[in-house]
Amino acid sequence: MKATLEFNLPEDDAEFYCATKGTDMLNALFEIEIELRKLYKYEDLTDEQFKMVERIRDSFYQILERNDINLNK
């Protein structure tokens, strides 16, 4: 199966950017997930720091879910 995307440039520049940089954006989100996991599991944090990392991590996953983004695909 093949798919072809067409853009009217420069009008569709934002859409073109998202289509061509989508993999890079997904990789960046994956790297953020890894960094948050490292902080959560392996760093020696104070209780306050741990709660903040937990809060950020929870928000991160909620945002991904709301936008139907699966980092494991």
Within 13 Å and on the Cβ side, how many CA atoms surround 23?
A: 1
48 domain residue, yes or no: yes
Structure tokens at 19: 């289509």
57 domain residue, yes or no: yes
Q: What is the mean pLDDT of the chain?
A: 95
- Domain range holding 72? 44-73
26 domain residue, yes or no: no
Contacts of 30 (CB under 8 A, 6+ apart): 71
Answer yes or no: are the C-beta atoms of 72 and 30 closer than 8 Å: no
pTM to 2 decimal places: 0.81
For the chain, the domain total comes to 1
18 domain residue, yes or no: no
Using pLDDT thresholds of 50, 70 and 90, give the confidence band for residue 28.
Answer: very high
The string of pLDDT tens digits covering residues 16-27 is 999 999 999 999
CB atoms within 10 A of CB 8: 9
49 domain residue, yes or no: yes
| Mean of pLDDT values over 22-39 | 96
35 domain residue, yes or no: no
